[in-house]
Structure 1
Amino acid sequence: MPTAIVTGATGILGREIVYELGRHPQEWTTVHALSRSKKDVYPSNIVHNFIDLTADVQEVAKELKDVSADYIFFAAYLLKGSEEDNTKVNGDMLENLFKALEINNAVSHIKRIVLVTGCKQYGVHLGRAKTPMVESDPWLPEPPYPPNFYYRQQRSLHAFSAKHGIEWVVTYPNEVIGFAKGNFMNLAASIGLYAAVHRELGTGGLPFPGGATFYEKFDSLTYSRLHAEFCVWAATAPGAKNQAFNVVNGDVESWSNMWPKLAARYGMTVPGDQFSRPAPDASDVPMADNPPISFLAKALGLQGKTAQSHIEQTIDLAKWSQKPEVQAAWERLAEREGLEKDAFEKATWMFSGFVLGRNFDVIVSMSKARAAGWTGYHDTWESFEKVFDQLESEKILPKAIGRFVGWSMQQ
C-alpha cells in the first residue's frame, strides 16, 4: 500500500491533495502532511509534521528523520517581493527537501515526485502569451526575461530524479479556485468580499473592477479539488511518467458570463453602462516591455503585432480596498454577520486586480492530459460556488441571498 509526503499541506493546493489522499485510506495508508503551521483536522491516515523548508538543510533532515514515502507531492510556496527572491526561496525549499532525503537515506523508497507549479511557466505574469498554451511551448530565456522559479524547480527535479532513477510529474494549474483555513490569498475570497461590501454600500449594482477588454476575453481556471484529483491520478498513471501537464477545469470562461452570476448571488445586477460611465478610480499599468508572445513572434508570423500588455482596472482594487467608506462598510458587515474581521485586510486585492485587469486571453490546453488518460472536468462557475459556500461556512463571507437563473434574477 503506497505512502505519501505532501509539502505545503495547509496551502490551497496542498490542502486539497492531503484531503484527496485522506479520502482513500485503503489505498494510501500513511500520508505525511508537512507544513509550517497546522490549521486543519485531518483524516485518520494523515500524520502532520511541522517543518520549515527554508531552515538549514541539516535541521530539515533532523525534522524528517522518521519520514519516508513512496510518493512525494511538493506544493510548498512562499511569495516574495521580486522574481529573484521568489526563485531563490522556492528553489531552495525544493532542494533542501531533496538534500534532506539524501542525508536520511530515504531516497530509495521514492517511486515518483509530483511538483506543483503553475502557468507562470508561460509568462502570463509578464503579458500576453501564445494561446492556447501547450506544454511544449518553449521556456522564456532568462535574461532578457526575469528569472522564473518554476524553471529552477523543474531543473532541480529533473537532475535529482535522473541521479536516483525516480519518476516525476509537473503540474501547471492556473488561477486556482480553492479554500484553505486562515488563508485568504485566493481569487474567490477577494471577489466574494468585493461583492458583499458593494451590497453593504447600497449601490444596487456590482460593477466589474477589471477592464472592458478582459471582461469579454477568455480565461482558464483550476478548481483546487480537481487539481488534487489530477495529482493523485498522475502519481501512479503510466501515461503521466516524466511529463509536465496543464491542469485546468476543462472549460473556457469569460467574466461577462460569470460576473452577472456573482452579482445575482448577492442580490445585485451588473450596471448596464459600467464601461461607459466616468471611472475616477480607474488604473492602467503596463506589463513587461516585451510580452512572452514576442519571443515567438517571428515563428508565428506576428512580427510587429505583439504590443505591450496592460493591466486595466475600471476600479483599482488595491486602492478601493483602502477607502474609508469601504473599510467602514466591511466593519459593519463583519460585526453584524459575525465574520472573520481580518479577512478583508488579508485578501489579495492587488493579485485580484491583476487577474481581472489583463487585456489578453488566457487559454490553456488540456489535450496532453486527455491523451495520457485523464478525464477529469469541473464547471468553473460551479467551482466558485462551492468555494463561496465554504467561505460562508467559515464566516469569511456572509450568506448568499440570491441566485442566477437563466439570465433572470431571483432572490
Structure 2
Amino acid sequence: MTTETTAPTNDAVLVAGAGGVVGRSVVEHFARTGVTTRGISRRAPQGVSGWTHLPVDLLDADAAVEGLRAASDTTRLAFAAYIEKADLAEQIGPNVALLEHTLDALDRLGAPLRHVTLYQGMKYYGAHLGRFTTPAKEDDPRLLVPNFYYDQEDLLRERAAQRGFALTVFRPEAVMGYAQGTPMNLLMAIGTYVAMTRELGLPLRFPGQRETYDRILYQMTDAELLARATDWAGSAPTAAGEAFNITNGDVVRWSHLWKRLADHFGLELGEPQTLPLATVMPPREDLWNRMVERHGLVPTPYTELVDWRFGDMILGSTWDNVSNVIKLRQAGFGACHDSADRLVELLDDLGRRRILPAAPGVEVQPV
C-alpha cells in the first residue's frame, strides 16, 4: 500500500470554489505546505493566509480567461465550484459551464495542467431521492434522473483524454468543516441548533424523524481529510483516472451522536421531537443577535449562518446513507477519523474562534 504524499513545491495549485467548505480546506492545506496556491471565489475566505484570491466569474468564458492569466502556471486544479438550483435539470447547464470555462481558460493560457480533482457526492447514487443501494460502490450504475455530476465527469474525462492530464473524482458525504457564508453546511446546522438549545436552557432534542434517530446509519467526511486526499491524488499513480468514495471511515447513528453532543455541552438529552427546522428556526434571528452580543461572537448575518432546509433534508432522511470506501483504502489512502470525536473537535474549534458559543471548558480566543 502506498502512503500519503505531498505536492512538490514547484506545483501551482488552483482551487475553484475556494469560499466553500471543501475549497477553503483545500486552500488551507496547500498554502500550509508552501505550494503556490490560488483560489477562485466571489469573496476571499477570512483567516486563511499564504495564498492568492482570484475573484473570477467562471460563468463567462472570456472573463475566465482574463481572470486566470495570473494562474497560467497552474499544474493542479481542484474543482469545488458549485451553483445551487432547486430543479435538478437546471443545475446541469451552469455547473457544467463553470468546469468547462475553467478548463478551457487554462488551456488557452497554456497552463501546464497535469491533474484535476473533481468533487461529487452521494447524490451521484441517488441519496437525495430516497432509499438507494448501500453501501454504495463506485461502479454502481448511474440513474435516469438529471444529475450534473454525470455531465461534469463526462466533460472532464473527455478533456483529459484530449489534453493529456490526469484526473481523480472524489465522492464524499456530509463534508464537515467551516466556511463563512456557506449555509449548506451540516456542521453549522448542528452547531447552531445545539447552541440555541443551550442558550434557551432546553433539553437537547433531535429535530428529525424518530426513525432516523433510532435506526438510520450515516457517514461524514472531514474537510481536512478530503484536502489531504486531494494532495495524495495528484501524485499517486493508483488515483489517476479513478473515482473514489471518501468518508471518515466509520458510520454514525444519530441517537449515539446526540448523546455525545449533550454530554459535551452539558445539556439534558430529551426525547426526539420532529421539528421543521426551515419553519421553526428562521424567526430566531433575534436570539442569534443576542447570542452574538452576549458571547462576543463574530457577527455573522443569520441568513448566512445556516440553510435550515439543508438541515431538514439530512436529519429527516429515513434511509441509510452509507458508501463503501474499500477502493480508496486499496489504492493507498488510509487516513480516517472517528466522526463523533471529530465533530466535537470541530465545534470546539468554532467555539475557540468565536464563530459559535464555546462548550464548557473551551478557552476562547481574545477579541
State whether TM-score is above 0.5. yes
Contact persistence 1:6–1:72 (CA under 8 A): yes
Contact persistence 2:116–2:167 (CA under 8 A): yes
| Residue number in structure 2 paired with 1:303 | none
Q: How does 1:163-312 map to 2 (within 5 A)?
A: 163-203=162-202, 205-215=203-213, 216-271=215-270, 274-275=271-272
Deviation digits for residues 325-347 of structure 1 (CA, Å, limit 9, x no counterpart): x4443333232112345454331
Paired residue type of 1:213: E
Contact persistence 2:24–2:45 (CA under 8 A): no
Percent identity between the aligned chains?
34
| Residue number in structure 2 paired with 1:290 | none
| Residue number in structure 1 paired with 2:313 | 354
Q: Does 1:54 align with 2:53?
A: no
| Residue number in structure 2 paired with 1:14 | 23
Match among 104, 119, 124 for residue 122 of structure 2: 119
Residue 105 of structure 1 and its aligned partner are, at CA, apart by 2.6
Contact persistence 1:239–1:372 (CA under 8 A): yes
Change (3 A) 1:336 1:381: same
Residue 246 of structure 1 and its aligned partner are, at CA, apart by 0.6
| Residue number in structure 2 paired with 1:336 | 294
Structure 1: distance between partners of 2:265 and 2:277:
19
Deviation digits for residues 69-100 of structure 1 (CA, Å, limit 9, x no counterpart): 21111111121222122211111100111221
Paired residue type of 2:175: V
Structure 1: distance between partners of 2:176 and 2:247:
10
Contact persistence 2:18–2:45 (CA under 8 A): no
Structure 2: distance between partners of 1:218 and 1:262:
17
| Residue number in structure 1 paired with 2:342 | 383
Residue 224 of structure 1 and its aligned partner are, at CA, apart by 0.3
Contact persistence 2:76–2:234 (CA under 8 A): yes
Deviation digits for residues 86-138 of structure 1 (CA, Å, limit 9, x no counterpart): 211111100111221232232xx111111111111111011111010110101
Q: Does 1:399 align with 2:358?
A: yes
Contact persistence 2:350–2:358 (CA under 8 A): no
Contact persistence 1:226–1:376 (CA under 8 A): yes
Match among 38, 44, 65 for residue 38 of structure 1: 44
| Residue number in structure 2 paired with 1:294 | none
- Counterpart of 1:236 in 2: which secondary structure? coil
Change (3 A) 1:8 1:90: same
Match among 278, 282, 299 for residue 322 of structure 1: 282
Contact persistence 1:39–1:182 (CA under 8 A): no
Structure 2: distance between partners of 1:201 and 1:42:
33
Contact persistence 1:8–1:75 (CA under 8 A): yes
| Residue number in structure 2 paired with 1:4 | 13
Paired residue type of 2:332: G
Contact persistence 1:177–1:186 (CA under 8 A): yes
Q: Indicate the RMSD between aligned Cα atoms, in angstroms.
A: 1.8
Q: Does 1:156 align with 2:160?
A: no
| Residue number in structure 2 paired with 1:364 | 323
Contact persistence 1:266–1:402 (CA under 8 A): no
Q: Does 1:79 align with 2:39?
A: no
- Counterpart of 2:84 in 1: which secondary structure? coil
Structure 2: distance between partners of 1:140 and 1:5:
31
Structure 1: distance between partners of 2:240 and 2:140:
19
- Judge which range, 326-335 or 207-216, deviates more: 326-335
Contact persistence 1:247–1:366 (CA under 8 A): yes
Change (3 A) 1:252 1:58: same
Residue 19 of structure 1 and its aligned partner are, at CA, apart by 1.3
Structure 1: distance between partners of 2:78 and 2:289:
39
TM-score normalized by the length of structure 1: 0.81
Aligned length: 350
Deviation digits for residues 330-386 of structure 1 (CA, Å, limit 9, x no counterpart): 333232112345454331111011101111111111100011011110111122122
| Residue number in structure 1 paired with 2:132 | 129
Contact persistence 1:193–1:344 (CA under 8 A): no
Contact persistence 1:184–1:343 (CA under 8 A): no
- Counterpart of 2:81 in 1: which secondary structure? coil
Unaligned runs of 5+ in 1: 280-313, 404-411
Paired residue type of 1:33: G
Residue 58 of structure 1 and its aligned partner are, at CA, apart by 1.3
| Residue number in structure 2 paired with 1:65 | 69
Structure 1: distance between partners of 2:154 and 2:69:
26
Paired residue type of 1:76: A
